[in-house]
């Protein structure tokens, strides 16, 4: 049998896994959640969610992935042959494909804004007064038909090229370059933000907790954010862990990935909140998702010197974060076709990306002229987002915890957490308890509350 590919260095595997985790979830969802839900109080709840739920579920995925050394579906067939548990993998492959469908569209927008920043067209005035209406620009860039499609296709092509080069030469090499670049850009933006006149007020808001805002739905929102941000429940981490060398310490890796992911979210807070106070942005709508990134931030850049440079660097930062996440999502399906169906990598890539083109284009058009086509009241983009992130993702994670906690022989998890007894992991029983007793009911609550 062919020897299974491994990441070639510790740094490479961390960079690739952090690359998957750090994405638009950290950049455009986290600051808004913090602002709406009591500043540092939300941060603390989020931290607790990462420790109690995020890290154990991540370790469950790492353990099965490395134990089986296979793709998300074949992993379950190998560990429990003849049982229907592989359906958990099917759910993961399906969900990651759907998420990739719309995530590529958003990634395409970030690329479009990067080009428009570099060329300067983002800042060409469109009002008689000479000012720029970024809301109108966003409509032109995002809510039309042709422009976003071009950039979505470009993003699809970049993804296909990276995956074509394979795990080591494509995913690992690219992450080794892009992740340090991402952290460097974040630090540069933190310095810029901290030099703003009202920076201290913003930081004070970010770091002082308002516990009166905390209620059940805030906790559920923090749990959901932790899941999405850590790329859990979709088979991404099972797939990546199948490339971890046998000597990788899973506990340390999970802690490092979660910490770095959290760090990016906190750095984003340190960037955004001084901007909020210094430029008097008071409504949370301005901090939400697309509006934050495509309207509020470019507006802020126009009040600074070297507008185009800052804007280009900012959209480079977001494009990098988005790209490494889309690549990890794509690898789930590619690995499935390669491992389970024994297809060549090239054939697998063609068969994943060809159907992705119409799916992504339909998602893109649903922001433009197809917006009136509704499924249960949502346009296609929002429907797929809601269906995959609110249902498929938690269902996958719930089943995985039940599987690892209750079905898999006990020693599989223990062997993986202790590298077959060669390292001491005093925390391993606590992780096992969390997977067995804490994660399933909590994820179930998320699911129910999403359904209501
Ligand atoms: N974690 C990514 C983010 O924060 C999104 C993602 C989810 C990527 C699931 C891969 C798998 O944006």
Q: Which of 19, 22, 23, 107 to mutate to test the pocket of ligand 1 (most atoms within 8 A of CB)?
A: 23
Residue 196 φ/ψ region, left for φ over 0, alpha for ψ in the -120 to 50 degree band, beta for the rest: beta
Asked, for residue 379, whether it belongs to a domain, the answer is no
136-151 average pLDDT score: 89
Could you identify the atom of ligand 1 that is nearest to the CA of residue 230?
A: 1
State how far Cα 65 lies from the chain centre.
19
Asked, for residue 179, whether it belongs to a domain, the answer is yes
User: Are the CB atoms for 274 and 193 separated by under 8 Å?
Assistant: yes
The percent of residues above 70 in pLDDT, for the chain, comes to 99
Distance CA 194, CA 202 (A): 9
Asked, for residue 28, whether it belongs to a domain, the answer is yes
User: Are the CB atoms for 338 and 71 separated by under 8 Å?
Assistant: yes
**Per the structure, how many domains does the chain have?**
1
Protein residue closest via CA to atom 7 of ligand 1:
231
The percent of residues above 90 in pLDDT, for the chain, comes to 69
With 0-12 CB in 10 A as exposed, 13-18 as middle and 19+ as buried, what is 387? Answer: middle
| pLDDT tops 90 at residue 354 | yes
Distance CA 244, CA 237 (A): 10
Model pLDDT for residues 240-293, shown as the tens digit of each residue: 999 999 999 999 999 999 999 999 999 999 998 898 888 888 777 777 778 888
Q: Which of 231, 232, 384 to mutate to test the pocket of ligand 1 (most atoms within 8 A of CB)?
A: 231
Asked, for residue 388, whether it belongs to a domain, the answer is no
- Residue 362 belongs to domain spanning: 10-69+102-231+248-373
Asked, for residue 78, whether it belongs to a domain, the answer is no
Asked, for residue 441, whether it belongs to a domain, the answer is no
pLDDT at 3: 66
Distance CA 149, CA 151 (A): 5
Gap from CA of 226 to ligand 1 centroid (Å): 10
With residues binned 3-state (H G I as helix, E B as strand, rest as coil), the percentages for the chain, rounded to 5, are 75, 0, 20
Model pLDDT for residues 55-94, shown as the tens digit of each residue: 999 999 999 999 999 999 999 999 999 999 999 999 999 9
- H or E element, residue 154: helix 146-164
Asked, for residue 27, whether it belongs to a domain, the answer is yes
80 CB neighbour count, 10 Å cutoff = 18
pLDDT at 2: 59
Residues with CB under 6 Å of ligand 1 are 20-21, 23-26, 99, 228-229, 231, 234, 236, 325, 328-329
Protein residue closest via CA to atom 3 of ligand 1:
23
Asked, for residue 426, whether it belongs to a domain, the answer is no
Question: Terminal CA-to-CA distance of the chain, rounded, Å?
Answer: 49
């Amino acid at each position: 049998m062919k020897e299974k590919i491994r990441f070639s260095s510790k740094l490479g595997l961390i960079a690739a896994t952090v690359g998957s985790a750090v994405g638009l979830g950290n950049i455009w969802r986290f600051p808004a959640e913090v602002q709406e839900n009591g500043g540092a109080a939300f941060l603390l709840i989020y931290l607790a969610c990462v420790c109690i739920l995020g890290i154990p579920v991540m370790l469950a995925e790492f353990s099965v992935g490395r134990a089986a050394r296979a793709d998300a579906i074949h992993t379950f067939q190998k560990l429990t042959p003849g049982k229907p548990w592989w359906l958990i993998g099917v759910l993961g492959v399906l969900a990651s494909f759907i998420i990739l469908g719309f995530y590529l569209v958003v990634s395409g927008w970030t690329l479009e804004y990067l080009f428009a920043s570099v060329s300067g067209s983002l800042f060409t005035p469109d009002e008689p007064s000479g000012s720029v209406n970024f809301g109108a620009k966003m409509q032109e860039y995002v809510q039309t038909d042709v422009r976003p499609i071009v950039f979505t296709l470009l993003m699809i092509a970049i993804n296909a090229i990276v995956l074509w080069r394979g795990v080591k030469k494509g995913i690992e090499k690219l992450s080794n370059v892009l992740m340090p670049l991402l952290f460097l850009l974040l630090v540069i933006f933190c310095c810029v933000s901290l030099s703003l006149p009202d920076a201290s007020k913003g930081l004070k808001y970010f770091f002082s907790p308002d516990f009166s805002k905390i209620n059940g739905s805030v906790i559920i929102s923090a749990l959901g954010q932790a899941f999405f941000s850590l790329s859990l429940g979709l088979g991404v981490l099972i797939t990546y862990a199948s490339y971890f060398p046998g000597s990788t310490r899973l506990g340390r890796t999970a802690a490092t990935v979660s910490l770095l992911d959290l760090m990016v979210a906190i750095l984003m807070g340190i960037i955004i909140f001084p901007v909020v106070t210094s430029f008097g942005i008071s409504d949370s709508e301005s901090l939400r998702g697309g509006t934050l990134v495509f309207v509020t931030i470019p507006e802020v850049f126009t009040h600074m010197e070297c507008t185009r440079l800052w804007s280009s660097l900012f959209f480079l930062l977001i494009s990098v974060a988005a790209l490494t996440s889309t690549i990890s999502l794509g690898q789930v399906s590619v690995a499935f076709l390669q491992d389970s169906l024994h297809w060549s990598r090239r054939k697998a890539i063609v068969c994943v990306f060809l159907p992705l083109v119409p799916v992504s284009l339909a998602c893109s058009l649903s922001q433009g002229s197809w917006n009136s086509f509704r499924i249960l009241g949502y346009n296609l983009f929002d429907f797929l987002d809601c269906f995959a992130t609110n249902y498929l993702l938690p269902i996958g994670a719930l089943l995985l915890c039940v599987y690892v906690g209750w079905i898999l022989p006990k020693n599989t998890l223990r062997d993986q957490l202790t590298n077959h007894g060669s390292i001491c992991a005093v925390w391993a029983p606590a992780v096992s308890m969390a997977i067995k007793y804490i994660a399933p009911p909590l994820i179930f609550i998320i699911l129910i509350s999403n359904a209501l």
